[in-house]
Amino acid sequence: MGFILNIETATKNCSVSLSKNGDTVSLKEYAGQGYTHAEKLHVFIDEVFKEAGLAYSDLSAVAVSKGPGSYTGLRIGVSAAKGLCYALNIPLIAIDTLELLARKISVNDGVIIPMIDARRMEVYSAIYTSDYRQLRATQAEVITESSFTETTGKIHLVGDGALKCKELLFDSRFIYHDDVIYPSTAQMAELSYLKYKISDTVDVAYFEPYYLKDFIAGK
């Protein structure tokens, strides 16, 4: 049986789930004002196992959100995932964070642009079709009044990065999904299971999160 532990810590949402053959069995998550991943992640991992009545030895793989997103959040999630994979000798699966965010909404037409806040007016974003095929690769970009002028039709904006766009992108073709702020492992179960079935895994020793930008330490 394909039991997979899914971990998402790329944003303020600390999200953990257990899934079986692509279906979520147990889910725990919390999105506070600050980053509480160091305190909550391992607690949530223990809780989903207890809720599902499973042991760590029941796992077939661990899936982790690979970024882009918070440097600290990503390192916490990836470190936990690597530790479990190494100890249990099971594969590690990496899932694109922006695709998870895009999959939180279902639309019939137009494109979906998931956005993660990268501070000031910069966001991490990508562009997906309504059936979640990626049209434009992930990039860091500064939002201006001319952003996405080359994109036609309805544009569905999701994520905490989308909230900063409202004062600049107010044309009727921009549709804001204000209730969708952070990615979640609720959308990871199907993706991680599909990757598991085709052995689309990453090297536990050498895998690094997709930071997109170089880390700059604050004073």
Q: What is the pLDDT of residues 100-149, one digit of tens each?
A: 999 999 999 999 999 999 988 999 999 999 999 999 999 999 999 999 99
Q: Which residue has the tokens 């506070």?
A: 32
| pLDDT tens sequence across 11-67 | 999 999 999 999 999 999 999 877 789 999 999 999 999 999 999 999 999 999 999
3-state DSSP: the chain helix, strand, coil percent, rounded to 5?
25, 30, 45
| pLDDT tens sequence across 74-106 | 999 999 999 999 999 999 999 999 999 999 999
> What are the CA-CA distances from residue 27 to residues 6, 155, 205 (Å)?
9, 30, 27
Position 3 scores a pLDDT of 97
Give phi and psi for 38, each to the nearest 5. Answer: -60, -35
Q: What is the dihedral of CA 180, 182, 187, 189, to 10 degrees?
A: -160
Banded pLDDT at 181 (limits 50, 70, 90): very high
CB 179 within 8 A of CB 106: no
- Residue 2 in this model has a pLDDT that exceeds 90: no
| Calpha distance 142→96 (Å, rounded) | 21
- Residue 218 in this model has a pLDDT that exceeds 60: no
Provide DSSP, 123-171. EEEEEEETT--EEEEEEEEE--TTTTTT--S-EEEESTTGGGGTTT--S
Cis bond leading into 68, ω under 30°? yes
Instruction: Give pTM, 2 decimals.
Output: 0.94
Position 1 scores a pLDDT of 61
> What are the CA-CA distances from residue 158 to residues 59, 83, 100 (Å)?
32, 32, 11
Banded pLDDT at 214 (limits 50, 70, 90): low
